[in-house]
Amino acid sequence: MSQATTNVMQSALKLFYAPIEDELKRAEQTLISELRNESPFVNELLEYGGQLGGKRLRPALLLLTAKAAGEVTPSHYTLAAVVEMIHTATLVHDDVLDEAAMRRHLATVNARWNNETSVLLGDYLFTHAFYLASTLETTFGCRRIGQSTNIVCEGELRQIGNRGNHALSEAEYFEIIDGKTAELCACACHLGAHYANADDAVVASMERYGRLLGMAFQIADDLLDLLGDESQTGKSLGTDLDKQKPTLPIIHTYQTLDGNERQEFVGLLESEDLQRHVAILEWVNRCQGLEYARKTAIEFTEQAREQLNCLKPSACRDVLSDITEFVVARSL
Amino acid sequence: MSQATTNVMQSALKLFYAPIEDELKRAEQTLISELRNESPFVNELLEYGGQLGGKRLRPALLLLTAKAAGEVTPSHYTLAAVVEMIHTATLVHDDVLDEAAMRRHLATVNARWNNETSVLLGDYLFTHAFYLASTLETTFGCRRIGQSTNIVCEGELRQIGNRGNHALSEAEYFEIIDGKTAELCACACHLGAHYANADDAVVASMERYGRLLGMAFQIADDLLDLLGDESQTGKSLGTDLDKQKPTLPIIHTYQTLDGNERQEFVGLLESEDLQRHVAILEWVNRCQGLEYARKTAIEFTEQAREQLNCLKPSACRDVLSDITEFVVARSL
């Protein structure tokens, strides 16, 4: 993907947000005012952290779902800020885990300060998000946010537990990304529809939409990590291979190969040769691992779009549909 | 403190818990059953993490306060498990920050596995605690837990921001430890009294008791870190000096010295000589820094005990009083 393509993508995303422009601004104000702190050091960290999240995809999903399924209420602005704070917390901690140096063309918190500052900043964001959720009238939001973030952590831990497990099945891989990525998208869409007083069936469909979109998003992200160019994506790449994290193109290649070829492929995955990336991609290409992963991501987006049929036609419904194409287009 | 003394202390703590033995067992069962997970890797981590907290001081404070101020209810068992989970999460993350290898005579999670596992295990515990708090009827518990844990993180971040700031005032130091340590004790006692339906004045006194106890506890902990013996306390020590964290004996020594002597002392604090510990202690002794810190800790415990006057006489009230002496005795 070229720099020009990236810019087109960013503009496309802005266009997507047009039907919720005012709502997104109000959620952003909540986020900014919640992330002020009297201590200059803490304040500087929070401002910096606030820039890392970037796309505001999760707040946008929450607000789009709300508007498409009913009405946007004050609770939605609070919850939009909450999901973005949670997402930023996981990014800050991910960058410690991945030992990443760059995120959205910025130095990561661990690179600019250090690991302990990153750990505590992530904790600060998590706990502030929980506090903010608890300012709503009922425990519903807290419960869903608590549960979802817990599932995210479980997914990330299971991913660590399966590092170097080249025989990981596709089903297990799906379970892991369902937890670590799809869960928070499902949560955002669920909360959006629930607090808009949508029917139970619509709420359930919106949650499924978010989950299926999140699955597609993560597969596309894995493809970007394997193929992308750091100067264009603005973040450290190739960390999945370095960390021996199984991803769909690699899993598919492993499952397609057998005997000596499989052994040779595993040898490359486990080798410490810095040049192995190219050789791994050759195997992946031979087994059509990239095409397979793209096809799978597209299937998830098709299923996601089906969930939107229960909504009345609206600009927001159209955007929810278009976003499914956008998340996969990133990795084409 | 000798090994024999440590054992006496541990037994004393068990005695303290006698009036809430059954309640503490029930809270422990909640904790254990909440920390089970289907993934064997995650389950192993949670079991291991469950052993790190150890003294169960915060659940005990919550239950003692409840029983001394009213009646223990099902909400208290949930909240006792919540505060212990939060405390364990902060310990697991602290051990990453301190690069500590030992905790309660066990290898820390980062030493046994690695930093990223520790970060995620801490996150798992935080998020599970929030979820558990949200299962209560109202948002009250969530709100207080969210707020308190956020203040804890802020205190820890401010501590990092003041690393190597030898001119930190005593007042600023108190603000930092109020956040990073006293807040969670205040929260435990507040929730204990609130959910026991105590009068507002009693609830406020119990919160103050917890805060003052926590202040004394942290000063004693700082003294232990400066003076203790790893084989006896069961955790990595001397990390405050290594990390240039200002603590009360050091702050007092700095404030007492002036001119060339102060410069010489700062030179030692900033030196990378592994033997500097002894020389630093000589300066601290000359300025009676240890006595000053002990005296200050004792003053906090006296103020803590005064808060108990609003309670009717009971075995639990006596224990709350005795605990104030216990936390300081650790460092004598």
Task: Check which CATH number belongs to the domain holding A42 and give it.
Answer: 1.10.600.10
- Tell me how close the Cα of B72 comes to any Cα of chain A, in angstroms: 22
What pLDDT score was predicted for residue B240?
80
pLDDT digits (tens, 9 = 90+) for B76-115: 999 999 999 999 999 888 877 666 666 666 777 777 787 8
Is B32 within 8 Å of chain A by CB?
A: no
In a domain, A29, yes or no: yes
- Length of chain A, please? 332
pLDDT per residue as tens digits for the range A118-159 = 899 999 999 999 999 999 999 999 999 999 999 999 999 999
Confidence (pLDDT) at B244: 82
CB contact under 8 A, B142 and A145: no
Tell me whether residues A127 and B149 touch, CB distance under 8 A: yes
Answer whether B107 touches A (CB < 8 Å). Answer: no
| CA distance readout (Å), A59 to A177, A192, A268, B227 | 20, 9, 40, 50
**Interface contact A161-B42, CB threshold 8 A:** yes
Provide the pLDDT for residue B102.
Answer: 66
Is residue B281 less than 8 Å (CB to CB) from chain A?
no
Span B253-312, pLDDT tens digits: 999 999 999 999 999 999 888 788 889 999 999 999 999 999 999 999 999 999 999 999
Partner-chain residue, chosen from B37, B143, B160, that has the shortest CB–CB distance to A131: B143
Q: Which residues in chain B are contacts of A156 at CB distance < 8 A?
A: 120, 123
pLDDT band of A200, cuts 50, 70, 90: very high
Tell me the chain B residues in contact with residue A134 when contact means C-beta distances shorter than 8 Å: 134, 139, 142-143, 145-146
The amino acid occupying position A291 is E
pLDDT beyond 70 at A16 = yes
The residue whose two tokens read 């216990």 is B326
| Over residues A220-241, mean pLDDT | 71
- Are A93 and B119 in contact (CB < 8 Å)? yes
A125 in a domain, yes or no?
A: yes
Size of interface A-B (CB pairs under 8 A): 156
Q: Give the residue-averaged pLDDT of B234-241.
A: 64
pLDDT for res B243: 78
Specify the DSSP class assigned to residue A103: E
Identify which of B116, B130, B132 has the shortest CB distance to residue A97: B116
A285 at interface of B, judged by CB pairs closer than 8 A = no
Q: What is the pLDDT of residues B162-183, one digit of tens each?
A: 999 999 999 999 999 999 999 9
Residue type, A279: A
Q: For residues A218 and A181, is the Cβ–Cβ distance under 8 A?
A: yes
Which residue, among B77, B42, B55, B98, has the nearest Cα to B323 in the 3D structure?
B55
Among residues of chain B, what percentage have pLDDT more than 90? 71
Give the minimum alpha-carbon distance from A167 to chain B in angstroms, rounded to a whole number: 17
State both tokens at A157: 């831990």
Q: What domain range includes position B233? A: 3-329
Query: CA end-to-end span of chain A, whole Å?
Result: 7
Q: How confident is the model at residue A4 (pLDDT cuts 50, 70, 90)?
A: very low
Angle between helices B40-50 and B74-97 (to 10 degrees): 90
Contacts of A96 in chain B (CB under 8 A): 115-116, 119
Across A7-35, b (16+ Cβ under 10 Å) vs e yields eeeeeebeebbebbeebbebbbebbeebb
Interchain contact B44–A (C-beta under 8 A): no
A126 touches chain B (CB under 8 A): yes
Q: Which chain A residues are Cβ-neighbours of B142 within 8 angstroms?
A: 130, 133-134, 139, 142
* Cβ–Cβ below 8 Å for B139 and A143: no
Of B119, B136, B138, the CB nearest to A96: B119
Write down the mean pLDDT value for chain A: 90
**Whether residue B199 has pLDDT greater than 70:** yes
d(CA A225, CA B141): 41
CB contact B35 to A (< 8 Å): no
Q: Is residue A237 part of a domain?
A: yes
Nearest-neighbour CA in chain A from B75: distance (Å): 14
- Alpha carbon distances (Å) from B93 to A122, A320, B96, B122, B277: 11, 38, 5, 6, 26
Q: Do the Cβ atoms of B19 and B319 come closer than 8 Å?
A: yes
pLDDT greater than 50 at residue B3? no
What's the gap in Å between the CA of B100 and the closest CA on chain A?
A: 12
Nearest CA-CA distance, residue B113 and chain A, Å: 10
What was the ipTM of the complex prediction?
Answer: 0.90
Q: Does residue B230 carry a pLDDT above 70?
A: no
pLDDT of residue A110: 73
pLDDT of residue B126: 97
Give the pLDDT of residue B237.
54
> Residue A309 pLDDT > 80, yes or no?
yes
For B15-63, write each residue's pLDDT tens digit.
788 999 999 999 999 999 999 999 999 999 998 888 776 789 999 999 9
Q: Which tokens go with B229?
A: 């013996």
What is the SS3 assignment for A167? coil
Minimal Cβ distance to B97: which of A37, A119, A158? A119
Taking the Cβ of residue B128 and every Cβ of chain A, the question of whether any pair is shorter than 8 Å is answered with yes
Asked if residue A165 belongs to a domain, the reply is yes
Confidence of residue B236 (pLDDT cuts 50, 70, 90): low
β-bridge mates for residue A102, sequence order: A107
Q: Which residue of B has its CA nearest to A45?
A: B157
- Judge whether A7 lies within some domain: no
Which range, of A259-273, B4-18, B55-69, averages the lowest pLDDT? Answer: B4-18
Region A251-270 average pLDDT? 95
Q: What pLDDT is stored for residue A2 in this prediction?
A: 43
Domain count, chain B: 1
| Residue A3 in domain | no
What CA–CA distances, in Å, run from A230 to A90, A109, A113, A186, B234? 20, 17, 21, 29, 45
* Best of A42, A83, A115, A116 to mutate (most B CBs within 10 Å, chain B): A116
